[in-house]
Structures are given as C-alpha cells and as structure tokens.
C-alpha cells in the first residue's frame, strides 16, 4: 500500500499507460483523479470502484491551462490536497516527415505533449509542496532521446519533456517535490493500437519490437510499474531523471534511414 491515502492526479488515464497506472495507484491505496479528454476516464473510474478504490473522473484537455487548474482543484477539494501528479497525456501527431509537417500540426503536438506537462508542474508543484512534498512524473519517450523512434514533431515534444523534468527538479530545489520522466519504448496503447492490430491480423507479432534486445513490445502495466516507483517513497532520492523503459532499444537506437529527397518504397 505504497500510496495509502495519497491524493493523486493522472492525466491521459482513459486508456493505455495512464489507465494502467491509475489502476495501480488505486490498488495500493491511492485516491485518484482520473483525467482524460475522452470518456474513457469514467470507464477507468468504474474499474477502480469495482475493486473498492476511490477515484473521480474529469474530462479535460491537458494542454489547456483552465482545464489543468480545474483538475488540480478537484483533487484538492475531493481529497484535501495533492501529493502526486502523473502528467501522462499525449498525442502522436502522426508520422509525417520534417518537410510534410506543417506548423499547425507541430503546434498542436507541442501544446499537448510539452505545454501540458509544463502546466501540470506549474500548478501542481505548489499544492504538493504545501503537503510537505511529493512527486511529479512526466511521460516522455525514447523518441525524445535521439532520432529514430518517432516523427519530428513528436520527438521534439518529448525531448522537451525530458529537459523540463531536469529544469523543474532544479527550480523546485528545497520544496521536497521531485520531478522525473519515464521514457517508454514501443508500448501497446491506443496510440499504437493500429500497429499491434495489424501485426496480429497478419500473424506478424514476432516483428513487433524486433529491434530491441527483448524482441517484443511492452504492455502498459510494465510502464505503470516504473511510473509508480518514481511516484513512491522508494524513489525518494531519484530526481530530475529520465528513466528509459524500452527493452534495450535506446542502447543503440537502430533505424532504417531514408535518404534526403527519396520516397520510401
């Protein structure tokens, strides 16, 4: 019961890594605000309630400041404050290359994936500090480490998240609020569902994640365990770090390159 009576907000908790982590927090005693842009938030809350946990659902846009403020206020009003925030919400923005990425696309990806965590830290950290400290965990990606794991827009946004965790950890010095990021590799979520669905239908699951040494993709629960560790007191001396969970992919980041000016076959 690592999170007994802890007040926790999880964004992007309507599916995937966010849902798996919210369920884990609740199973271990946490009282969870399940936030998502979709109606999946209520489905997550229903699962928590069925297991005897305590949770509230809220529909919100992680990149909208008013929504972020409203979500944190719900946690404080419902549970008496805030101890932990997992800023997990994000979008892929597709796989457009550098020259096919228009300004509107990259602006939206940055708004959700980078401004969203910024807003979460800005408004959650003071509330967590009031309780004597706690943890903020951000979802970054192996795509934020170096080229080869995502589109230009997505990769740039996640690189920003990694740096944001580092900068925030420094600027929260003395507050006892820790900020870390988790960097998933290929994980079966709503974002990657088409990849996994196609592989199953074509009987090609052996090719999913084949570039990493474990030769498979991850399940959301595997990422949830790492996010929960970073949020727990067991990680009390872990701060300003980007923890990679990718089956070993980023130990080399192998990638098939496309030459400039040529179209992939």
pLDDT digits (tens, 9 = 90+) for 214-259: 888 889 999 999 999 999 999 999 999 999 999 988 887 556 666 7
pLDDT at 265: 47
Both structure tokens of 168: 């925030």
DSSP H/E element including 106: helix 103-110
Both structure tokens of 62: 């992680």
- Point out the catalytic residue in the list 154, 198, 237, 260: 154
Q: Pick the closest to residue 218 from 254, 182, 185 (CA basis).
A: 185
Domains of the chain: 7-185+219-242 (3.40.50.720)
Using CA atoms, how far apart are residues 242 and 62, in angstroms rounded to an integer? 21
CA distances from 254 to 50, 80, 140, 208, 209 (A): 43, 47, 19, 14, 11
Using CA atoms, how far apart are residues 72 and 151, in angstroms rounded to an integer? 31
Q: Which residues contact 166 (CB under 8 A, 6 or more apart)?
A: 240, 242
Is 260 marked active-site?
A: no
Using CA atoms, how far apart are residues 78 and 127, in angstroms rounded to an integer? 14
Using CA atoms, how far apart are residues 166 and 189, in angstroms rounded to an integer? 26
pLDDT at 258: 63
> Which residues of the chain, if any, have pLDDT below 50?
265
**Taking the CB of residue 215, how many other CB atoms lie within 10 A of it?**
13
Q: Pick the closest to residue 169 from 230, 234, 91 (CA basis).
A: 230
Q: In this structure, what is the dihedral angle of CA atoms 145, 139, 65, 193, given to the nearest 10 degrees?
A: 100
Given the DSSP bridges, would you call strands 177-184 and 31-36 parallel, antiparallel or unpaired? unpaired
């Amino acid at each position: 019961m690592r999170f007994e009576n802890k007040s926790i907000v999880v964004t992007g908790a309507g599916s995937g890594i966010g849902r798996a982590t919210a369920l884990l927090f609740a199973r271990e005693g946490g009282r969870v605000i399940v936030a998502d842009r979709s109606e999946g938030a209520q489905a997550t809350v229903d699962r928590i309630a069925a297991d005897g946990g305590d949770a509230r659902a809220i529909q919100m846009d992680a990149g909208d400041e008013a929504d972020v403020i409203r979500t944190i206020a719900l946690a404080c009003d419902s549970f008496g404050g805030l101890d932990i925030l997992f800023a997990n919400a994000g979008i892929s923005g597709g796989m457009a290359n550098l020259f096919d990425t228009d300004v509107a696309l990259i602006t939206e990806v940055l708004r959700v994936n980078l401004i969203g965590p910024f807003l979460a830290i800005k408004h959650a950290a003071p509330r967590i500090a009031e309780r004597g400290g706690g943890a903020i965990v951000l979802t970054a990606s192996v795509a934020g480490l170096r080229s080869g794991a995502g589109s230009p827009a997505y990769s740039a946004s996640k690189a920003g998240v990694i740096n944001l965790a580092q900068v925030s950890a420094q600027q929260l010095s003395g507050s006892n609020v820790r900020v870390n990021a988790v960097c998933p590799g290929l994980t079966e979520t709503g974002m990657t569902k088409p990849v996994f669905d196609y592989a199953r239908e074509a009987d090609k699951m052996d090719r999913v994640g084949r570039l990493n040494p474990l030769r498979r993709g991850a399940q959301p629960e595997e990422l949830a365990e790492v996010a929960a560790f970073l949020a727990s007191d067991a990680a009390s001396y872990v701060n300003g770090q980007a923890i990679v969970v990718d089956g070993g992919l980023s130990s080399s980041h192998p990638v098939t390159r496309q030459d400039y000016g040529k179209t992939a076959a």
